[in-house]
Amino acid sequence: MEITKFCSAKTLDFGRTTLLYFLVGLFFHECTSSSASSTEQSSKAKENINVCSTPKANIDYKSLQNNANPAVLQMLNFPKTVSHISLTEPQFFPKNKGAKNIPAEMVLIPAGNVRIGDKDGFAHELPQFWASVESFLMDKSPVTIGQFRAFIKATNYQTEADKFGNAGVINDETGKSWTLLDGANWEYPLGKNHPKAEDNHPVTQVSWNDANAYAKWAGKRLPCEIEWEHAARNAKNNRTKYPWGNEIQAKGKWNANIWQGKFPLNNFVEDKYAYTSPVGIFGKTALGLTDMSGNVWQWTSNKKFNYESLFKKDISEIALTEEYAERGGSFLCEPTWCHGYRVSGRSSSSSETSLFHLGFRCVKDIN
């Protein structure tokens, strides 16, 4: 499907309730997320829609403590690989464990201290903070249709999109709105009236719960945001915009599968892919990762949180969401308005959400 337009509004038909959410502020430059509750799916079921946030943060640093509030860390439940979260660089170096028999689909992410966020970034990327990250293994690319099919065959697992009978896609008849399309699922992410997804493309239309079920079956887990950004910065605290450097194009070729053209009017598809692309062909990093920018958003293990909340002294001021953070951007991100494909870019959705531009990759601890 050649997508040439994007939504100016989003209509979600939930059976008993139809909710209409208008996109506002398209002149801003950063995509975050908002949500609409589904009474049919559950009281907490939400569907992600992209909106644009004010690109400025007004942070009162005097009200913050240097070290992360333990109460917040407990809420976020970061893995044991992550420690020493603070506003100043830790005087500590994490364990750099070696790994034997690394699975062919994974790479070793070395230990290191990483500064999360971007000093020139948007409100949800500030304040910058430091964390120590032990070495771990990470999938080279997002989980593919073929890999997910093996999981389904082995377990007879039913995804939430299959249970609900629909999933989120752009209405390709009008090209202007998101819709919960009946029959859309991981095998037919664009709906049953489109071809079945190819095995070498990233799996989409999988919820956070689905992604966790796959990860558990595979003996892995989802990365937290800190691990994801540490890996995207090549475990060296690189301060580049993208995992490979500062240029989205090199020698006339795109380094990521993103939107090319005037958003939301048209997509020139200069990278040859209007939808997802086969994993492994865009944006290879020094560590051997691909598709860390563009192609599909990727679920992470933690709920999205305000970075400032990490360092609040008063726990009553802590702001956490009920949505889970996503990283990496997607084929729908266009450079003049959506910068989600930057290393520090963020979005979020509820745990039940399934979308045609949202997938995941896994990590594994080194014992």
Helix/strand/coil (H/E/C) assignment for every residue in 119-177: CCCCHHHCCCEEEEECCEEEECCCCEHHHHHHHHHHHCCCCHHHHHCEEEEECCCCCCE
Give the pTM.
Answer: 0.87
Superfamily of domain 9-364: paralog of FGE (formylglycine-generating enzyme) (3.90.1580.10)
More confident residue, 77 or 23: 77
The predicted pLDDT at position 58 comes to 84
Q: Looking at residue 55, what is its pLDDT?
A: 53
pLDDT in tens, 48-95: 334 344 456 688 888 899 999 998 999 899 999 999 999 999 999 998
pLDDT at 22: 25
State which H helix or E strand residue 226 sits in.
helix 225-232
**Is residue 33 over pLDDT 90?**
no
Report the pLDDT averaged over residues 140-153: 99
Chain center to CA of 354: 12
153: pLDDT strictly greater than 50: yes
Query: What is the pLDDT averaged over residues 40-46?
Result: 36
Is the per-residue pLDDT at 28 higher than 70?
no
For residues 77 and 33, the model is more confident at 77
Question: Confidence band (pLDDT; 50, 70, 90) for 330?
Answer: very high
Distances (CA, A) of 300 to 39, 105, 239, 240: 25, 19, 21, 21
Measure Cα distances from 367 to 23, 216, 275, 318, 336 in Å.
46, 16, 38, 33, 43
* Burial status of residue 76 (CB atoms within 10 A of its CB: 0-12, 13-18, 19 or more): buried
Q: What integer best gives the mean pLDDT of the chain?
A: 85
274-329 pLDDT, tens per residue?
A: 999 999 999 999 999 999 999 999 999 999 999 999 999 887 767 678 999 999 99
Confidence check: pLDDT of 349 > 90? yes
For residue 39, what pLDDT is reported? 30
Higher pLDDT among residues 92 and 31, named by residue: 92
Instruction: Encode pLDDT of 234-269 as tens digits.
Output: 999 999 999 999 999 988 899 999 999 877 678 899
| Residue 139: predicted pLDDT | 99
Please report the pLDDT score of residue 204 as a whole number.
99
